[in-house]
Chains A and B, each alone.
Chain A
Amino acid sequence: MFDFYFNLPLWLRLVLQGTAVILVLFPIAAACSMAERKISAWLQGRPGPNRTVPPILAWIPGIGVFQRLGLFQLAADGGKFTFKEDPIPGHVNKFYFVAAPILAMIPALSTIVVVPFGAYFNEAGKLVPIILANLDIGLLAVFAVSSLGVYAVILAGWASNSKYPFLGGVRASAQLISYELSMTLSVLPVFLWINAPGGEGTLSLFRVVELQSGSGFAWDSVWYVFYFPLSAFIFLVALFAETNRQPFDMPESESDLVGGFHTEYGAFKWSLFFVAEYCHMIVGSAVFILLFCGGWNPLPGLPLGDVIHWLSGFASWAAHPLVMGLIGIGIFLGKVFASIFFFMWVRWTLPRFRYDQVMTIGWKKLLPLAIANLIIYTLGIAVLAHLKK
């Protein structure tokens, strides 16, 4: 079966892999909207959506558990978004108006290409990433492509030809650009550390995880969140702003901008914006986990390799690449879901910032902090490299 798959032409394999990844990512992003409702309900002491059930399925005993968890809400939302009337306002430029949600989806779904979401050991005992394209410029590609998402927001705000969406789009673009700077600066120390002088240089996200997977009490067993806590913090704050999550919910703040850049959108086009936001969140948390939280390694000092070794003591099939890959993906997805839960947890804890506060935090607080962080780590790494000689 594997031979058959690997004998397929490369382009066909890539198309199949890409489709498979999008077929997983898209439903997860859609399920996030349900999770958002459910988690917000639990945090507020209410049960949340627990009524929806298809009439025929309702007769099956035991389905009540899924009903109370609100799992059918997903299908109901999807059906509603697909079939409800989707008016296009008469005063908009139709081409750009329709293009905006599509443009929002493209960067959201394509950044996943360079994100490794698991790994397995091949016959030679070498760690192989499960990734669509293991590029050496991995992180650069994520930043470059994901920042294209701002075009969709601006286009949506402008093409709507209406005041509130326009203001929302302008605010969004300013916010996204401001926080992009701190975000990029905050990860530089990590890559200064990885790319030791004289060695092979890389920006690959896979390499970052590989260097965090030492076992026991080795230097490389510590996750980078402990080496670079300030970097991790700045990255996380910038990630909240980049994904337009509360408390940086400027582009669509309902209280002062009606709905922000997507005020004029409805039904399926609106849900595309929504799913794109969650895709950004998933990819963003994935990058955060890869950079700072050890990727698919379950615990600091306990890498995936040790877990596989331990499991294969009980059952030899645990060392099969397929099983290893699934365990790796499972651990990684578990961390991503924990991170998404954190996003929602913060949403129901912090009030929304005022717009001038968003700008102050971005330019006057985070950016100097990121620069100071970079300078201190550069000096530290230089001193370490000097001592090593």
Chain B
Amino acid sequence: MAVIQVERKPLSFAERTYIPQILGGLKTTFKHLLKPTVTLQYPEQRPEIPKNYRGVPTLVKDPNGREKCVSCQLCEFVCPPKAIRITPGEIPEDSINAHVEKAPQAFDIDMLRCIYCGLCQEVCPEEAIWLQNQFSMSGYTRAEMVNNKAKLYELGGTLPDDHFKWDKKKSAEEHGNAH
């Protein structure tokens, strides 16, 4: 590459007084005075969240309103900061989904520990845990920062899901010949 020697021009008298430059600067800043502000007024205005944003991990239900989580505890084992704590449980006898699968009795995610890595979502065989676009978790106490099962389902809501695995398992159990 050719080395080009750039000759630095000596400053003119007007430039050495800095006054034209200062006046130019004042003009520039004054223009900004008249421009509209660009600040996002946060609590009222929310930023656009990208589609694949990895926010707070949540639990989701299928379109029939059933819990997708089967308390396999894979996410608990894979969680690097050990933020997830699952207490496995059975589905009650009187439920229509009894004997098909299991469901968590308690599901806590400690958001003070969570590092939003998304491994729980990767590992989940039921696609029950999703990192969604909720990005602002805050609270006044440590206890407030632990999301329990009810809170997780409230945050997660329903995920469109075409498999209806529960229905298939139920019918397979009733008519035999599973799979």
B-contacting residues of A (Cβ < 8 Å)?
39, 41-47, 345-346, 348-350
Contact = CB atoms under 8 A, between A and B. Distances in A.
Interface in B1-47: 22, 25-26, 28-30, 32-33, 35-39, 41
Contact of B39 (A43, A45, A345, A346): A45
B38 A46 contact: yes
B32 to A, nearest CB: 5
A47 B39 contact: yes
B39 A350 contact: no
B26 A345 contact: yes
Interface of B: 22, 25-26, 28-30, 32-33, 35-39, 41
B29 A45 contact: no
Top 9 nearest A-B pairs (CB, nearest first) are A46-B39, A349-B25, A349-B29, A47-B37, A45-B38, A43-B29, A42-B33, A349-B26, A45-B37
Nearest to A41: B37
Contacts of B35: 45
B32 A44 contact: yes
Contacts of B28: 349
Nearest to A46: B39
Nearest to B26: A349
Contact of A43 (B32, B36, B41): B32
A65 to B, nearest CB: 16
A346 B18 CA distance: 14
B37 A345 contact: no
Given A349-B22, A349-B25, A350-B25, A43 B33 contact: yes
B147 to A, nearest CB: 28
Contacts of B39: 45-47
9 contacts: A41-B37, A42-B32, A43-B29, A45-B35, A47-B37, A345-B29, A348-B29, A349-B22, A349-B28
A41 B37 CA distance: 9
A42 B30 CA distance: 9
Contacts of A42: 32-33, 37
A272 B95 CA distance: 71
Nearest to A233: B19
A245 to B, nearest CB: 14
B30 A345 contact: yes
B42 to A, nearest CB: 11
A44 B39 CA distance: 10
A41 B35 CA distance: 12
A378 B38 CA distance: 53
Contacts of A45: 32, 35-39
A47 B40 CA distance: 10
Given A46-B38, A47-B39, A350 B33 contact: no
Nearest to B30: A345
Best-buried of B26, B29, B35 by chain A (most CB within 10 Å): B29
Given A349-B22, A350-B22, A46 B37 contact: yes
Contacts of A47: 37, 39, 41
A235 B74 CA distance: 75
Contacts of A41: 37
Given A43-B33, A45-B32, A349-B29, 17 more contacts: A39-B33, A41-B37, A42-B37, A43-B29, A43-B32, A45-B35, A45-B39, A46-B39, A47-B39, A47-B41, A345-B26, A345-B29, A345-B30, A348-B29, A349-B22, A349-B25, A349-B28
Best-buried of B22, B35, B39 by chain A (most CB within 10 Å): B39
Contacts of B30: 43, 345
Contacts of B25: 349-350
B26 A346 contact: yes
